[in-house]
Amino acid sequence: MKTSRLLKELMNLEEGQRLIELRGLSEEERKELRYHWQVWARSSQISPKSDWRVWLILAGRGFGKTRAGAEWVRAMARDPEARIALVAASLGEARAVMVEGESGLLAISPPTAYPDFEPSLRRLTWPNGAFATLYSAAEPESLRGPQHSHAWCDEIGKWENASSRAVSGWDNLMLGLRLGDAPQVVATTTPRAVPLVQRLMKDTHIEFTRGKSEDNGDHLPARFLEDMRERYGQSLLGRQELDGELILDLPGALWTRTLLETCREASASSAPVRTVIGVDPPASANGDACGIIVAALGEDGLGRVLADASVEKPTPETWARAVAAAAQAWDADRVIAEANQGGAMVESVLRAADVSLPLKLVHASRGKAARAEPIAALYEVGRVRHAGTFPALEDELSGMMVGNGYQGPGDSPDRADALVWALTELMLTPARTPRIRMA
């Protein structure tokens, strides 16, 4: 009775005032209200009141997308006839995030309606008979055939794009969403300019919710938000990952966001046979950034970007030490440095910083875009991978234009230039082989 009265009082308050009152509750009162999501949720985490078929939540990291999706599924599972699909980029992510995560279905379910999870069957079953099945978007054919009344698709921006798997998985899911009177699907994701997200953004029949990481600031460590803002700031990646903006490609860009996403892997999937450091030195002391990119040629014949060790507005000694440190950390075979701004100076500065490995000085005889186009072509045919995420570098690559223009951040694409030098050495420079001269 006490809980019902307290619940009614809180629900009669405006959202902001309600959250203030919740902070003042005793631990016992908070426990009593723990499973009443309507009390705790922000309005942006509650499903729209319209007659929707697809609800797409596009928001920054930490917004509370996972909790919103899980709570919606819990509400749908109150219907014994509910047959729910839980779709993630992989089965491992579906289990780790959607089911067993801190905001997953097991964590938010009350003891009286706690689902039984059978990992071997990829299935959760609620006490009333409703059940949910886990699927991997990387296996779109697994969604061909099964029928569902509801679906929750998590991080659709991360779904595998190769061979149009993401779009195929979504289409197969939608074609099987035909049980019950009003089938619905919730999609939660940090926005990425991948084909599936861009297609959904153009659909006028979809309900959208947008949001930033800061919207959930009361439930996030202050250090997290401070660190993320300091690291990513207003970079394009920061605007995407924190502010929830969908960053679209510039017309005529050599590298598109979609291309970079399709080339990404979590870590290097092949051992390196050769590693080089590409360096684009600043034109003057305390001038532009010094681009320092670590790249490797793998045993599988693919080029990989391993690290961005660039430094902002460095002195010659600072950037030279950064090159030396990167070479040592990655066991590099060679340093490739642009020498247009004084080859002798570049070499002497690097030698003074104890760069003892082979040094190759290269001279730019063509414009930046002309040098970059062959490297962009390697990305297009799938011969380059990014082993991780490099926001500043990728912002610059996305600003390199066909022709000879640059529309990215800063005055010059220092990191992009360093990448071009490194990958040119690894992928486009013919290997020298000894020859025997006949007498």
CATH of the domain at 124: 3.40.50.300
Asked if residue 152 is part of any domain, the answer here is yes
Residue 25 resides in a domain: no
Specify whether 214 is located in the same domain as 348: no
d(CA 409, CA 416): 11
| One domain for residues 228 and 269 | no
222 and 264 share a domain? no
Domain that holds residue 303: 257-428
Whether residue 248 is contained in a domain is answered as no
Do 223 and 290 belong to one domain? no
Long-range interactions of 402-405: CB distance < 8 A, separation 24+: 402/252, 402/253, 402/254, 402/369, 402/373, 403/252, 403/369, 404/367, 404/368, 404/369, 404/370, 405/252, 405/369
Q: Would residue 124 count as lying in a domain?
A: yes
Whether residue 397 sits in one domain with residue 265: yes
Looking at the domain assignment, is residue 8 inside a domain? no
Domain holding 409: CATH number?
3.30.420.280
The number of folded domains in the chain is: 2
- Are residues 215 and 274 located together in one domain of the fold? no
Q: Which residues contact 362 (CB under 8 A, 6 or more apart)?
A: 336, 337, 338, 339, 421, 424
Shared-domain flag, residues 207 and 291: no
Task: Note whether 91 and 56 are same-domain residues.
Answer: yes
In this structure, is residue 251 part of a structural domain? no
Assess whether 86 and 208 both reside in one domain: yes
Do 208 and 277 belong to one domain?
no
List per-residue pLDDT tens for the chain, 439 residues long: 466 776 667 767 777 777 777 777 777 767 767 788 887 888 899 999 889 999 999 998 889 999 999 999 999 999 999 999 999 999 999 999 999 999 999 999 999 999 999 999 999 999 999 999 999 999 999 999 899 999 999 999 889 877 788 999 999 999 999 999 999 999 999 988 788 998 998 898 899 999 998 888 777 887 887 887 777 776 766 777 888 888 777 778 899 888 888 898 889 999 999 999 999 988 765 557 899 999 999 999 999 999 999 998 888 888 888 998 999 999 999 999 887 665 556 777 777 766 667 888 888 767 777 889 999 999 999 999 999 989 889 989 988 988 767 877 777 899 999 999 999 999 998 765 444 445 4
Last residue of a domain, one of 232, 249, 279: 232
| Tokens matching residue 296 | 């490797």
Contact 289, 369 (CB under 8 A): no
In a domain, 238, yes or no: no
- Are residues 127 and 193 both part of a single domain? yes
What is the value of pTM for the model shown? Answer: 0.66
Q: Are residues 53 and 182 in the same domain?
A: yes
> In sequence order, what are the residues at sequence separation of 6 or more whose Cβ sits closer than 8 angstroms to the Cβ of residue 410?
288, 289, 396
Q: How far apart are CA 57 and CA 216, in angstroms?
A: 14
